[in-house]
């Protein structure tokens, strides 16, 4: 069953110096429980696509459906992890309160149970009383991931979630994401400009063209469910896939399967 | 020991200045000039202060004066913050009202005393004068703070489908809080100034009222005692507000709080 259906989505911004089409004719689906990476050159309209799916932006053309319901405004069972964790978290709330914040509709005890579970899942069980600024960047992004997970979304959108942390932390967070989605069976759509990351994380990789973006290729990533930063990245399949994606992003010969 | 030397450092200039003042004014006494009449030695001022502050004047004049000041300031604060949050997040409101607000704020508030005397009456115009003068820094700072909520927080709030009250109270207000406090501190000193000025004119009681009476009675020590009281009150309330601000903004990293205090002259 498809969790997400994107059908012919395009968006044109009306600016002072004329119209600018960021994305055009984008169509793809994401199945339940899948982790799909969207990779594209910077400035190709990835964020516009993500905002359209999240219901933060009404696209000029096409439709987005989340488990069969047309997206018109932000769906109640969708969550987003933004790139800029320091701005996305609320600095005046402790880590626990940040995670609990979107759960206002639940009872107090249920809120704290869920927040505790989510923080344990991202390895921050002991940091609940701290304030975000007392944590490193990578840990802050873990808080943002915990907040999104505690919300129990049907679809988790991630907008370049690991682009603002150092390489070592990025590897840790990538493995954390793989582990957590395996444990919780979350459907994830992750937008990135990092080719290696898209291949390492994704069950599928959607390659976008330059702006106005459309889907150039939809690649399966047959690397299995248990991946490892060292052996997976060194495997022949990984190297071959990343070369194909890189070739497509550089506008080389396109081979669509 | 460190704490003690810190206190000593803070007060040494004041103590020395008062000591010098005492010596100079006592020496001037022998010269018998009008200067020595208007500048009584600090010891005499202290005597007058001890006599006046703790007499029936406390309940008759100090309490009413301070109540006006704090009441006007609180009223200005509540209205200013509530209005500021709403206007700051409304799309077009400040485009229409910005110029009007800046015009009204530019009017030196004491100049409104004659107007309020004429329209409200000399005995009850103190509170409206204080509120009108003190509201602008809070209002405009809150608007500024409410506007500065970054785009990522706006998106985050939308993604988690916050209710309007959750958004305004839970996100916009805390985002604006550092600026709100900067505004509240400015308003507090304006409230003190307007309290005295409005009491100088026609008020039946209050600190300003007593100041004028002491002037008319040619009691310079009494005048100085009231002036000193105003300084003490200003210092005291500012210190209390600063302590409260530190607690309310404890979530901020320390360095940014200090930078802000310097920037706003706190």
Q: Which domains does chain B have, with CATH numbers?
A: 1-39 (no CATH), 42-263 (1.10.3720.10)
CA gap A86, A76 in Å, rounded: 24
What six digits make up the tokens of B106? 């530019």
pTM, rounded to two decimals: 0.85
pLDDT score at A28: 95
pLDDT score at A1: 74
Indicate the pLDDT class of residue A256, thresholds 50, 70 and 90. very low
Burial code (b: 16+ CB inside 10 Å, e: under 16) for B122-131 equals eeebbbbbbb
Q: What integer is the mean pLDDT of B38-64?
A: 92
Task: Fill in the DSSP letter of residue A33.
Answer: T
CB B187 within 8 A of CB B73: yes
pLDDT score at B28: 81
- Chain A interface includes B148 (CB < 8 A): no
Return the residue in B149, B160, B249 with the most chain A beta carbons within 10 A, the one to mutate for interface testing.
Answer: B160
Q: For A94, name the nearest residue in chain B, comparing CA atoms only.
A: B251
Q: What integer is the mean pLDDT of B115-138?
A: 92
Per CB-CB distance under 8 Å, the chain B contacts of A151 are 160
Domain boundaries, chain A: 86-152
Q: Count CB-CB contacts under 10 A for residue A75.
A: 22
C-alpha distances (whole Å) from A235 to each of A177, A198, A200 are 21, 15, 11
Q: What integer is the mean pLDDT of B48-69?
A: 93
Give the bridge partners for A187, in sequence order: A155
Give the bridge partners for A21, in sequence order: A12
- Chain A interface includes B180 (CB < 8 A): no
Q: What integer is the mean pLDDT of B172-183?
A: 96
Indicate the pLDDT class of residue A63, thresholds 50, 70 and 90. very high
pLDDT digits (tens, 9 = 90+) for A112-145: 999 999 999 899 999 999 999 999 999 999 999 9
pLDDT score at A4: 95
| In the predicted structure, residue A75 carries a pLDDT above the cut 70 | yes
- Chain B interface includes A146 (CB < 8 A): no
Q: Which residues contact B227 (CB under 8 A, 6 or more apart)?
A: B211
CB A248 within 8 A of CB A75: no
Which stretch of DSSP H or E encloses residue A15? strand A2-15
CA gap A216, A208 in Å, rounded: 5
Nearest to B158 among A56, A92, A93 (CB): A56
Among A88, A202, A97, A80, residue whose Cα is nearest residue A153: A80
- Helices then strands, counting H and E runs in chain B, come out as 14, 0
- Chain B interface includes A88 (CB < 8 A): yes
- Chain B interface includes A47 (CB < 8 A): no
- Chain A interface includes B246 (CB < 8 A): no
The answer to which of B25-34, B88-97, B216-225, B241-250 has the lowest mean pLDDT is B25-34
C-alpha distances (whole Å) from B16 to each of A174, B22, B155 are 65, 10, 57
Q: For B249, name the nearest residue in chain A, comparing CA atoms only.
A: A92
Percent of chain A with pLDDT over 70: 97
ipTM of this model?
A: 0.89
pLDDT digits (tens, 9 = 90+) for B74-90: 999 999 999 999 999 99
Q: For B247, name the nearest residue in chain A, comparing CA atoms only.
A: A92
Question: Do the chains contact at B155 and A131, CB–CB below 8 Å?
Answer: no
Percent of chain B with pLDDT over 70: 93
Per CB-CB distance under 8 Å, the chain A contacts of B252 are 91-92
| In the predicted structure, residue B1 carries a pLDDT above the cut 60 | no
CA gap B180, B84 in Å, rounded: 9
Q: At what angle do helices B63-89 and B220-248 cross, to 10 degrees?
A: 40
Highest mean pLDDT of the ranges A103-107, B163-167, B180-184: B180-184
Q: How far is B160 from chain A (nearest CA, A)?
A: 6
Q: How far is B147 from chain A (nearest CA, A)?
A: 15
Q: At what angle do helices B254-263 and B173-200 cross, to 10 degrees?
A: 30
CA gap A96, A143 in Å, rounded: 9
Question: Do the chains contact at B160 and A79, CB–CB below 8 Å?
Answer: yes
Q: Count CB-CB contacts under 10 A for residue B2.
A: 6
Higher-confidence residue of B122 and B158: namely B158
Question: Do the chains contact at A82 and B252, CB–CB below 8 Å?
Answer: no
Indicate the pLDDT class of residue B168, thresholds 50, 70 and 90. very high
| In the predicted structure, residue A253 carries a pLDDT above the cut 80 | no
Q: What is the 3-state secondary structure (H, E, C) of B89-152?
A: HCCCHHHHHHHHHHHHHHCCHHHHHHHHHHHCCCCCCHHHHHHHHHHHHHHHHHHHHHHCCCHH
């Amino acid at each position: 069953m498809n969790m997400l259906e994107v059908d012919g989505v395009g968006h044109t911004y009306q600016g002072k110096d004329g119209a600018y089409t960021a994305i055009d004719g984008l169509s793809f689906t994401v199945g339940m429980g899948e982790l799909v990476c969207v990779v594209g050159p910077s400035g190709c309209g990835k964020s516009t696509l993500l905002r359209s799916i999240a219901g933060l932006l009404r696209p000029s053309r096409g439709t987005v459906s989340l488990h069969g319901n047309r997206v018109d405004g932000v769906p109640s069972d969708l969550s987003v992890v933004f790139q800029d964790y320091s701005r996305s978290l609320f600095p005046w709330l402790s880590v626990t309160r940040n995670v609990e914040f979107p759960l206002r509709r639940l009872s107090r005890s249920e809120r704290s149970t869920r927040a505790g579970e989510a923080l344990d899942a991202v390895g921050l069980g002991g940091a609940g009383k701290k304030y975000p600024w007392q944590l490193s960047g990578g840990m802050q992004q873990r808080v943002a991931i915990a907040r999104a997970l505690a919300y129990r979304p049907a679809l988790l959108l991630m907008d370049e979630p690991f682009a603002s942390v150092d390489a070592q932390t990025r590897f840790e967070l990538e493995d954390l994401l793989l582990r957590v989605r395996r444990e919780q069976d979350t459907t994830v759509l992750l937008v990135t400009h990092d080719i290696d990351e898209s291949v390492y994380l994704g069950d599928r990789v959607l390659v976008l063209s330059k702006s106005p973006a459309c889907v150039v290729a939809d690649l399966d990533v047959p690397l299995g469910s248990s991946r490892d930063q060292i052996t997976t990245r060194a495997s022949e399949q990984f190297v071959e896939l990343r070369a194909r994606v890189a070739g497509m992003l550089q506008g080389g010969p396109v081979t669509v399967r | 020991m460190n704490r003690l030397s810190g206190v000593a450092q803070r007060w040494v200039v004041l103590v020395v200045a008062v000591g010098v003042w005492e010596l100079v004014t006592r020496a001037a006494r022998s010269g018998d000039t009008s200067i020595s009449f208007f500048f009584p030695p600090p010891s005499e001022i202290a005597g007058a202060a001890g006599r006046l502050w703790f007499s029936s004047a406390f309940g008759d004049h100090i309490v009413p004066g301070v109540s006006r000041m704090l009441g006007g300031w609180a009223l200005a604060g509540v209205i200013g913050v509530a209005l500021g949050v709403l206007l700051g997040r409304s799309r077009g409101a400040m485009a229409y009202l910005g110029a009007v607000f800046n015009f009204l704020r530019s009017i030196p508030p004491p100049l409104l005393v004659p107007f309020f005397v004429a329209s409200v009456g000399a005995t009850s115009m103190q509170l409206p004068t204080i509120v009108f003068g003190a509201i602008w820094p809070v209002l405009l700072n809150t608007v500024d703070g409410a506007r500065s909520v970054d785009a990522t927080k706006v998106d985050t709030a939308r993604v988690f489908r916050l209710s309007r009250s959750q958004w305004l109270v839970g996100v916009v207000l805390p985002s604006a809080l550092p600026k709100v406090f900067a505004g509240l501190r400015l308003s507090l000193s304006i409230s003190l100034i307007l309290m005295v000025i409005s009491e100088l004119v026609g008020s039946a009681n209050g600190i300003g009222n007593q100041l004028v009476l002491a002037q008319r009675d040619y009691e310079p020590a009494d005048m100085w005692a009231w002036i000193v009281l105003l300084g003490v009150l200003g210092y005291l309330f500012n210190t209390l507000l600063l302590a409260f601000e530190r607690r309310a903004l404890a979530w901020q990293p320390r360095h940014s709080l200090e930078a802000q205090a310097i920037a706003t002259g706190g």
